[in-house]
């Protein structure tokens, strides 16, 4: 993946996670000490996020930094198959929500260990 593509993927994951948690950019700004304009620029891929900023965002969102950097561990095949069976009768929107929620649960559990 090119550096530009990595930056855009990081931006997308940060933006989507914030939206999923129903946090406003203003709230994120207050909680992390980042200017709201910086949050916007990071989420749009116009500004690189510094490592300490990513750590603060990660802590606020309840996801490990590895999630935002794309260094996820692979999901066991049996888990994928079970989720696929459950998702078979769902709408596409429900499947996307289930995926976001499963990802959230996965990382919340990991951060509590």
- The per-residue pLDDT of the chain, averaged, comes to 85
Q: Kindly report, residue by residue over 31-78, the tens digit of the pLDDT.
A: 999 999 999 999 999 999 999 999 999 999 988 888 898 876 545 677
Cα separation, 27 vs 36, whole angstroms:
9
Q: Are residues 65 and 86 both part of a single domain?
A: no
Q: Which domain holds residue 50?
A: 3-69
Q: Are residues 49 and 95 both part of a single domain?
A: no
Q: Are residues 62 and 11 both part of a single domain?
A: yes
Cα separation, 40 vs 82, whole angstroms:
37
Cα separation, 25 vs 23, whole angstroms:
7
Cα separation, 42 vs 36, whole angstroms:
10
pTM of the entire structure? 0.66
Q: Are residues 24 and 40 both part of a single domain?
A: yes
Q: Are residues 53 and 98 both part of a single domain?
A: no
Could you say which DSSP state residue 74 is in? P
Q: Are residues 21 and 65 both part of a single domain?
A: yes
Residues 6+ positions from 39 with CB-CB distance below 8 Å: 18, 25, 28, 29, 32
CATH number at residue 27: 1.10.260.40
Q: Are residues 58 and 86 both part of a single domain?
A: no
Rg (CA), the chain: 15
Q: Are residues 57 and 94 both part of a single domain?
A: no
């Amino acid at each position: 993946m090119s550096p530009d593509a990595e930056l855009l993927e990081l931006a997308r994951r940060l933006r989507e996670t914030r939206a999923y948690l129903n946090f406003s950019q203003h709230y994120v700004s207050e909680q992390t000490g980042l200017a709201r304009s910086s949050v916007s620029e990071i989420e749009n891929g116009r500004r690189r996020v510094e490592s300490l900023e990513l750590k603060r965002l990660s802590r606020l969102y309840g996801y490990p930094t590895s999630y935002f950097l794309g260094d996820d561990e692979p999901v066991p095949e049996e888990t994928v198959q079970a989720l696929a069976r459950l998702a078979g009768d769902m709408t596409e929107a429900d499947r996307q929500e289930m995926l976001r929620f499963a990802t959230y649960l996965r990382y919340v559990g990991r951060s509590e260990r």
